[in-house]
């Protein structure tokens, strides 16, 4: 889907504004350089104003107006917000809390994805939409629903309970198999038949661990099935249209890697400053890298990119306003990580509804402002660089494993919830990000053999297959870096009963023989190659069999015991860090890997708050360089070999005989360097 080079667009809600406004909107949209808009994702009540009566005339009209300017459309299926008539007709579509309360229909997402009435209504509206636009060339594809999800407590309606029991029966066959897998003998929970099973209720911390994990799996699958229903309808009606859905980074409710297999490409909603006064750009980078890797062919879009301040939140009436330069910078960050499309949310700020302060590019008054001018400048730049950029791909030989099952296992436990799995993964990621090393953030089901280095931070839960594949990876020459609490749990969310790391003691050449949580009030260090590295949250005593000790504890009763080990296994090495992965630890490990030549960065940059990625073309490369600070900077780059270099945005060139390149960056500025040997 790269006929546009780079898809550059905006989310537009024409139905929020009088028709008299449309022409002026389309003109400004076109002048900004946008070549695509997303439409109609919350317009069910307009598309189907009463049961079975459809009206696409208004949508046809705006699609036509846009087409005149050469702007394509992506249509949202409208199922994220069932209209009032549907709620009145079928109140049972409302999700039910475990205490029996129906979710009030006051906002959006007020439906149970397993409710038969909702499924029927969904089928009808999606089919009508697909049929109506199957021959419309200006509709290039569909976004299914919007930010698929449900709150923590939902849904425990009779359909969900019944389907869950059936799901369990299909999985375990015999109730005694389930009893064994869960260890229901604990606290006398042994079931006599499937109807005795109640879904676990929040806080899940109180519940059987196996049951809770299966419930999270079931809930994730419920949404994937709901999406599959819609994908099936659209594919059968108009197989040529592209299908995506807008994800929310590494949202914990649904296994996005599984879900994305059904899509032509995934997309995500990127709001760096939502709820963050000082956000971490590495966090945003990691979500780009994850979404890209969810795509079947590493292709993805940003479907919503922050275009202004967001809604308020605790203590802040409105989110902090993006500074001059940030909107442009965020778009370049997306492209730097491989995005094929970047769509700002939204065109003009809504004056009503719930999200009055989820600002678009334009403010409520619809006048050209500094944000519009910034985006327009970006549009002009993209027009110039798009062909060169579109011909490249983001590639990496470092794979970082993000496991939804590991995540879920931690979410079920009270304490781990605050020792956030996401934070631990980010810490290790950041060690590489700081060095400008491309990283893939992958599912545990990914083919590991694509990588030289594999990072498995806090890989709390494993299964037999994963254990085997990790061993095979290292045996064949890979470098594996794991941290504390690796393979504690098996696929039934039981603790491995034969020692930790479960099933991997031979791979790491050691056993975890003691451990303690390290409360925030206490400090502990690991001594490693003459350096004092701060440990975080957890300490393990490692007892090596074949492994070498790389670092030892410096903490009370653990002083001197092994804290970091490395083990030769086949052709590769398996490193184990007996603490949670602080950025400090990760940073140190990357330095060791570079020093040993295992990782060979193409380019190095000096200075803080700079991000650097590389995209590779047939015979050239482009390097993206981003200044994440609101102040000017002189930057110097050091290349691994000599290149001819051209600055695509700021001009500037360097002949092919130098390993260095210097440039000036403004606040929140970006540059794309074209490299040829």
Closest to a second copy by CB, 485 or 588: 485
Shortest CA distance to 605 belongs to which of 638, 633, 580?
638
Q: In what order do the strands lie in the sheet with 267-270?
A: 242-244, 139-143, 72-76, 36-39, 7-11, 341-345, 301-306, 267-270, 246-247
Stretch that binds a second copy, among 61-69, 157-165, 307-315, 604-612 (CB under 8 A): 307-315
The CB density around residue 61, as the number of other CB atoms within 10 Å, is: 13
List the interface residues with a second copy, window 11-30 (CB under 8 A). 15-16
Burial of 124 (0-12, 13-18, 19+ CB in 10 A): middle
CA dihedral sign, ordered 537, 543, 548, 549: positive
Going by the DSSP 8-state scheme, the letter that residue 271 receives in this structure is -
28 phi, psi to nearest 5 deg: -65, -40
In the list 9, 95, 113, 200, the residue contacting a second copy (rule: CB under 8 A) is: 200
CA distance 293 to 299: 8
Residue 300 and residue 284: Cα distance in Å, rounded?
A: 15
Query: 269-288 mask for a second copy (x: CB under 8 A)?
Result: --------x-----------
Assess 239 for contact with a second copy (CB under 8 A): no
Which stretch in 2-10, 280-288, 365-373, 598-606 sits in contact with a second copy by CB under 8 A? 365-373
604 binds a second copy (CB under 8 A): no
Binding a second copy by CB under 8 A: which of 24, 373, 495, 532? Answer: 495
The values of phi and psi at residue 667, to 5°, are: -60, 130
Q: Is 677 among the catalytic positions?
A: no
Choosing from 64, 70, 116, 353, the residue that interacts with a second copy (CB under 8 A) is 353
- Cβ proximity to a second copy: between 394 and 576 the closer is 576
C-alpha span between 536 and 558 (Å, rounded): 15
Cβ atoms of residues 292 and 339 within 8 Å: yes
Least Å distance, CB 533 to a second copy, is: 20
Nearest distance in Å: CB 608, a second copy = 18
Window of 116-124, 252-260, 308-316, 563-571 that interacts with a second copy by CB under 8 A: 308-316
| Nearest approach, Cβ of residue 575 and a second copy (Å) | 22
- Give the separation between CA 480 and CA 474, rounded to whole angstroms: 7
Judged by CB under 8 A, does residue 373 bind a second copy? no
Count CB atoms within 10 A of the CB of residue 388. Answer: 17
Give me the residue label for tokens 């605790």.
314
Our CB check for a second copy shows the closer of 43 and 675 to be 43
Contacts (CB under 8 A) with a second copy, residues 36-75: 42-46, 49-50
Bridge partners (DSSP) listed for residue 343: 9
Quick one: three-class SS letters along 124-152? HHHHHHHHHHCCCCCEEEEECCCCCCCCC
**DSSP label at 320?**
P
CB of 459 to a second copy, least distance (A): 15
Cα–Cα distance, 212 to 220 (Å, whole number): 12
514-544 burial string, b = 16+ CB within 10 Å, else e? ebeebeeeeebbbbbeeeebebbbbbbbbbb
Between 354 and 568, whose beta carbon lies closer to a second copy? 354
| Active-site residue identified among 147, 169, 190, 258 | 147
- In whole angstroms, give the CA distance from residue 328 to residue 670: 8
In the annotation, is 660 catalytic?
no
Residue from 141, 295, 341, 537 that binds a second copy (CB under 8 A)? 537
DSSP, res 451: -
Phi-psi region of 478 (alpha: psi -120 to 50; beta: other; left: phi over 0): beta
Exactly one of 41, 48, 136, 304 is catalytic; name it: 304
The region of 327-335, 468-476, 487-495, 560-568 touching a second copy under the rule CB under 8 A is 487-495
Closer Cβ to a second copy, 466 or 484, answer by number: 484
| CA 661/CA 677 separation, integer angstroms | 14
DSSP state of 322: P
Q: What is the CA 7 to chain-centroid distance, rounded?
A: 20
Cβ at position 466, least distance to a second copy in Å: 19
Least Å from the CB of residue 363 to a second copy: 8
Separation between Cα atoms, residue 183 and residue 193, nearest integer Å: 15
Q: How far is the CB of 527 from a second copy (least distance, A)?
A: 20
Per-residue interface string for the shown chain with a second copy, residues 94-123, x marking contact by CB under 8 A: ----xxxx--xxxxx---------------
> Taking contact as CB under 8 A, which single stretch among the options 25-33, 62-70, 176-184, 289-297 is the one that binds a second copy?
176-184
Among the listed residues 9, 309, 399, 601, the single contact to a second copy using CB under 8 A = 309
Looking at residues 508 to 527 of the shown chain, list those that interact with a second copy (rule: CB under 8 A). Answer: 513-517, 519-522
Bridge partners of residue 8, in order along the sequence = 342
Ranges within 414-443 binding a second copy (CB under 8 A):
414-416, 418-419
503 is a site residue for a second copy (CB under 8 A): no
* Of positions 252, 281, 295, 319, contacts a second copy by CB under 8 A: 319
| Residue 313: CB minimum distance to a second copy, A | 6
CB-nearer residue toward a second copy: 170 or 314: 314
Query: Footprint of a second copy on residues 607-666 (CB under 8 A)?
Result: 630
Q: Could you identify the residue written with the tokens 């299964």?
A: 463
CB 499 → a second copy: shortest distance, Å? 4
191 touching a second copy, by CB under 8 A: yes
Among 54, 172, 251, 492, binds a second copy (CB under 8 A): 492
Q: How far is the CB of 198 from a second copy (least distance, A)?
A: 6
Of residues 85 and 172, the one with the C-beta less far from a second copy: 85
Region binding a second copy by CB under 8 A among candidate stretches 67-75, 84-92, 245-253, 638-646: 84-92
Virtual CA dihedral for 358, 364, 368, 369, nearest 10 degrees?
A: -50
Binding-site size, a second copy (CB under 8 A): 110
Q: Read off the tokens for 401.
A: 């494993």
* Residue 82 makes contact with a second copy by CB under 8 A: yes
> Does residue 5 interact with a second copy by CB under 8 A?
no
Tokens of 667: 């606040």
Check if the beta carbon of residue 362 is closer than 8 Å to that of residue 349: yes
Binding to a second copy by CB under 8 A, coded x per residue (else -) over 448-467, reads --------------------
Q: Which of 57, 187, 297, 655: binder of a second copy (CB under 8 A)?
A: 187
Name the CA dihedral angle for 226, 231, 232, 233, rounded to a multiple of 10 degrees.
Answer: 100
Name residues contacting a second copy, limited to 241-260 (CB under 8 A). none
**3-state DSSP call for residue 611?**
strand
- Contacts with a second copy in 126-155 (CB under 8 A)? none
Closer of 236 and 418 to a second copy (Cβ): 418
Nearer to a second copy, 452 or 493 (CB): 493
CA separation for the pair 130, 402 (Å, rounded): 35
Give the residue numbers annotated as catalytic, written as ranges.
Answer: 147, 304
């Amino acid at each position: 889907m790269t006929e546009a080079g780079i898809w550059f667009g905006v989310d537009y809600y024409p139905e929020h504004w009088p028709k008299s406004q449309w022409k002026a909107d389309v003109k400004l949209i076109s002048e900004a350089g946008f070549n695509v808009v997303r439409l109609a994702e919350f317009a069910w009540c307009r598309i189907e104003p009463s049961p079975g009566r459809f009206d696409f005339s208004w949508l046809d009209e705006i699609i036509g107006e846009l087409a005149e300017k050469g702007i394509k459309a992506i249509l949202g299926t409208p199922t994220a917000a069932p209209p009032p008539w549907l709620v009145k007709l079928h109140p049972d579509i409302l999700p039910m809390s475990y205490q029996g309360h129906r979710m009030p229909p006051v906002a959006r997402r007020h439906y149970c994805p397993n409710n038969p009435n909702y499924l029927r209504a969904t089928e009808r509206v999606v089919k009508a939409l697909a049929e109506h636009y199957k021959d419309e060339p200006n509709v290039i594809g569909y976004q299914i629903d919007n930010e698929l999800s449900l709150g923590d407590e939902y849904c425990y309606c009779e359909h969900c309970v019944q389907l869950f029991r059936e799901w369990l029966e299909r999985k375990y066959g015999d109730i005694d198999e389930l009893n064994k897998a869960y260890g229901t003998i604990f606290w006398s929970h042994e079931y006599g038949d499937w109807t005795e099973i109640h879904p676990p209720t929040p806080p899940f911390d109180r519940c059987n661990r196996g049951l809770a994990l299966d419930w999270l799996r079931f809930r994730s699958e419920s949404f994937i099935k709901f999406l599959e229903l819609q994908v099936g309808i659209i594919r059968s009606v108009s197989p040529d249209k592209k299908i995506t859905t807008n994800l929310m980074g590494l949202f914990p409710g649904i296994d996005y890697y599984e879900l994305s297999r059904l899509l032509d490409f995934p997309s995500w909603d990127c709001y760096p400053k939502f709820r963050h006064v000082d956000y971490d750009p590495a966090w945003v980078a990691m979500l780009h890298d994850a979404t890209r890797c969810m795509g079947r062919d590493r292709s993805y879009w940003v479907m919503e990119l922050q275009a202004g301040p967001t809604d308020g939140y605790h203590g802040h009436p409105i989110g902090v306003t993006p500074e001059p330069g940030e909107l442009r910078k965020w778009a370049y960050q997306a492209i730097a990580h491989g995005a094929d499309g970047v769509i700002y949310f939204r065109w003009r700020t809504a004056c009503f509804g719930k999200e009055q302060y989820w600002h678009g590019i334009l403010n409520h008054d619809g006048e050209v402002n500094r944000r519009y001018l910034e985006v327009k400048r970006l549009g002009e730049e993209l027009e110039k660089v798009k062909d060169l950029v579109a011909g490249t791909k983001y590639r990496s030989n470092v794979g970082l494993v993000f496991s939804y099952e590991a995540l879920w296992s931690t979410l079920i436990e009270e304490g781990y919830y605050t020792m956030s799995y996401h934070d631990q993964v980010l810490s290790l990621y950041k060690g590489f990000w700081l060095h400008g090393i491309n990283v893939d953030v992958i599912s545990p089901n990914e083919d590991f053999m694509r990588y030289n280095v594999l990072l498995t931070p806090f890989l709390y839960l494993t299964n037999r297959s994963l254990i085997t594949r990790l061993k095979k990876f290292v045996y064949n020459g890979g470098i594996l870096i794991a941290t504390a609490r690796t393979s504690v749990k098996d696929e039934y969310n039981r603790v491995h009963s034969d020692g930790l790391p479960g099933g991997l003691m031979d791979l790491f050449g050691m056993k975890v023989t003691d451990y303690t949580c390290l409360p925030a009030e206490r400090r502990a260090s690991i001594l490693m190659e003459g350096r004092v590295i701060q440990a975080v949250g957890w300490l393990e005593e490692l007892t090596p069999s074949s492994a070498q000790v790389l670092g030892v504890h410096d903490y009370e009763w653990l002083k001197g015991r092994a804290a970091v080990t490395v083990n030769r296994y086949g052709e590769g090495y398996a490193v184990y860090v007996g603490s949670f992965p602080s950025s400090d630890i990760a940073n140190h490990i990357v330095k060791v890997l570079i020093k040993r030549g295992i990782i060979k960065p193409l380019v190095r940059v000096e200075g803080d708050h700079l991000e650097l990625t590389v995209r590779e073309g047939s015979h050239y490369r482009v390097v993206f360089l981003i200044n994440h600070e609101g102040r000017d900077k002189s930057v110097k780059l050091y290349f691994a070999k000599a290149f001819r270099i051209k600055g695509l945005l700021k001009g500037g060139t360097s002949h092919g005989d130098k390993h260095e390149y210097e440039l000036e960056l403004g606040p929140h500025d970006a540059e794309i360097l074209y490299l040829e040997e």
